[in-house]
Structure 1
Amino acid sequence: MENKRILIAEDSEIEGMILERALKSAGYQVSRAADGQQALEQHLAVSKFDLLITDISMPGLSGIELIWHARERNVLPPTIVLTSNKSEEASLKSLEIGALDHLTKPYNLPLILAKVKITLGRT
């Protein structure tokens, strides 16, 4: 089985750790970034990832800006967006600029693992 590489961009340390642990337990290679700028400059610009999971609301470079800049640099992998904003506006905007799916926080781990598997084509 090919080991898929996933980048998590999440400013919440606890949420990032929980998601990272769940994805690693499912057999994925996982890297984490504390914000959009770190995700773009220290990860996406230097390594290839099979999937990006990003929070929308982060200090500095937001998830929307991260998607936009990564797409402009041609380094945007398939993307799932996490948002605590219950409005549809942020979710729609992320889908318009390149995200494939979104989840509203709090999300449940079985659901996100299923969406990751589907997005990566591992059905």
Structure 2
Amino acid sequence: MRLLLIAIASLLLSACASQGQVDPDGYRAEGKASYYGARHHGNKTASGERFDQNALTAAHRNLPFGSLVRVTNLRNDKSVVVRINDRGPYSKGRIIDLSHKAAAQIDMLRAGVVPVRVEALE
């Protein structure tokens, strides 16, 4: 039953993410993004979930857990929608930490840290 609920929630989040419109009155910031290394895979996040490097998730210092944000790599204009499920980053000058899968989708794995725009979705 629990797996069924997780699968349904994932499908709903995917549907919302594909249609997500930027919230004109919501959070918007530019700064640097990094991504979680594989050594964090399986560890508990601040929201209580286990970190899955293959999920489209991210850590942000203060956005509410469950928030959907669009992260755009300003070097190549590629973007990805992620769900906030952890706190961080704790490195100075960074505004968001992405999962490995999210980082791969915006082609930032080689660089490790890239300039991004983060925008809350409705």
TM over 0.5: no
Higher strand share: 2
User: Normalised by the size of structure 1, how large is the TM-score?
Assistant: 0.25
Higher helix share: 1
User: Normalised by the size of structure 2, how large is the TM-score?
Assistant: 0.25
